[in-house]
Chains A and B, each alone.
Chain A
C-alpha cells in the first residue's frame, strides 16, 4: 500500500501559495503559448504548465489531508468581502484529477494535433486548452460562488471554439459546438440567476458564509428558486439526464486533445459544484432539498443510467457511443450521491475517478486509432487490432474497465456503489446499477467484437500503429486502470477524503 504522503513534496513557499499557483500557472502558460513562435514551443509550454499545475495539486492533496481545509485569501481581504479559495479533500481530489488529465492530454496532443489541426493554429489551440484547464482548476478551488461562475465561463468560452475546430475532420463539429455554446451559456446564466436569488436572501457570495446564513433562514420561495436555478444550470453543464443533448456532439467531433480532456473533467467539475451546493451550501435538513434528492435527482439519474446506455448500444459512431456512455455514467455518480450516506459519497467519488481514468483511456485509444484512419463509425475500425495492436490493447483495457471486468478499476468502483446502495437500504438503486452495468457490457462488447474479432472491410487501407508520443500517455493511463483495479488504496484515500469533506466532517 502506498501512502499518499509520499507523493507530494513541494518547497514550503510554493505550498503556501499552492492554491493560486495551481490556477495561475496554466493561465500564464496559456498567454505564453499564444505568444509562442512555433507549434513545438507552444506544446512544450503546455506540457510544462500542466505538469507544474499537477505538482501544485499534489501539494494541495497533501495539505488537505494534513489540515482538512486549505484557505487562501486574495488581496488580503477576509472572505465575505474578498475572494478566498477553500480547498478541502474533495476540491484537492478534483484538482488532482483535472491537472493530471491535463498533463496526459497535453503530452498526447504533441502528435494528435499535427494530424487534426492545421499547424498555424496550434499555438492558439494550446492556449485555449490551457485556459480551459485554468478555469476548471479555479472552479474546483474557489470558495466564492460568483467567482465560480467566472471560472466556469473561463473554462467554457475557449472550449466552444476548440470543439468547433474539429470541423476540419467532420463539419458536424460546428453545429455541435454551437449547440454546446447555447446550452452552456443558458446553463451558466441559470446559475447566475439562481445565485442572484441566493444573494438577495443572504447578502453574501462566499459559500461558507452563505451556508451559515441559509441555516438561519426559514424556507422561503427565494431560497427555493435559487436552489432550483442553480441545480438546473449546473445540471445542463454537467449533462444531467434530460439536459444532456449538447454532450454527444461536443465530445464526438472535437479534436482528440479536447475530447480526452473534456471527457475526463468538464462535466465532473460542474458535478462537483452542484454537489457543493446541494450538500454544503444548502442546509442539510431542508425539506425541498430532501424532496429534490429523493424524487428528482435519483429517478433522473436512474433513467439516465438506463436510457443512455441503451442509446449507446444502438449508436453507430464510436465516439458518440462513448459520449452517451458518459451521460449514463454521470447517472451512476449521481445515484451514488443521492444516497447521501458516507459510503454513497465515497463510492460516487471513487466512481468519478475511475470513470475519468477509463474514459480517458478509451478516448485516447480511439484517437490513436483514428490518427492513421479517419473513421467515423464502428464498422470502419473493424479488425483494426491486426494493424495497431498496441492501441487496440489499450482500448480493450479501457473497455473492460468500463464494463466492470474484475481486476480493473471499473469493477471496484461499481462494486463499491452497489455495496453502498444496499447498505443505505435503497435496493432499487442497486438493481438499476446492475441493469445499467449489464447494458454497458452490451455496447462495450460491440466495440471489442468489431476491433478484435471482425475482419477488416475489404479494400480498406491498412492502418498504422500510433507513434510513441501518443502511446506513452495512453499506456500510463491504461496501466493506472489496471493498477488501481488491483490496489486501489491511493484512489480510496482520495475518495474517502473527498467524501469526508462532503459530509462536513473534518
Chain B
C-alpha cells in the first residue's frame, strides 16, 4: 500500500498513456485516433514532470531569499541541499524535465496539426474518415489499372 502512495503518479500516468494508445489502436475514426495520439504524447510529458518533482519544492524560478518557513522546510527535507550556497534556503524542482517537456508539447501540437490536415484531405479524397471505408476504397483502387498520362 505504501508503494501505491509513493508511486501513485507513475501508475496513473501509465494508465493515461495506455488510454491514449488504446484510442489510437481501437478507434476507426481518424480524428478520434489523433485525439488518442495527442493524449498519449501529453501523458508521456506528465511522466517526465513526475520525475522532476522535489518534495517541498517550488518552481525553478530564482527568488531572492526564501521565507523562514521555506528555509526550515528545506533544511528538513534535504539538509545537504539546503546548506549549499546560492540557494538561500529554497528548494527548487528540477528544471531539466520541464525544459524537455516544453519541447515535447510543441512536437505534439505539430504532429496534431499535420495529422489533422492529412485527415481532412483523406475526407476530401475518399469521402470518409472511417478507416474501414478507406480500406475498402483503397482495395478497389488496387484492382484498377493505373491511369495513363
Contact = CB atoms under 8 A, between A and B. Distances in A.
Given a CB threshold of 8 Å, the question of whether A touches B is answered with: yes
Interface of A: 146, 149-150, 153, 157, 160-161, 164, 167, 170-172, 174-175, 177-178, 181-182, 185-186, 188-189, 192-193, 196, 199-200, 205, 316-317, 372-377, 380, 460-461
A345 to B, nearest CB: 32
- If over half of B's interface residues share one DSSP class (helix, strand or loop), that class is named, otherwise mixed; here it is helix
B148 A461 contact: yes
B100 interface: yes
Contacts of A461: 148-149
Contacts of A149: 104
A199 B121 CA distance: 39
Contacts, number: 99
Contacts of B33: 182
B62 interface: no
Nearest to B126: A171
Given A182-B115, A188-B107, 8 more contacts: A149-B104, A174-B122, A174-B126, A181-B118, A189-B44, A192-B44, A316-B142, A374-B147
Nearest to A181: B115
A150 B47 contact: no
Contacts of B118: 160-161, 164, 174, 177-178, 181
A466 to B, nearest CB: 13
B35 interface: no
A172 B107 contact: no
B21 A199 contact: no
Given A150-B107, A178-B30, A178-B118, A196 B149 contact: no
Contacts of A373: 148-149
B114 A181 contact: yes
Contacts of B37: 182, 185-186
B41 A189 contact: yes
B111 interface: yes
Contacts of A146: 100, 103
A157 B110 contact: yes
Contact of A171 (B47, B125, B148): B125
A209 to B, nearest CB: 13
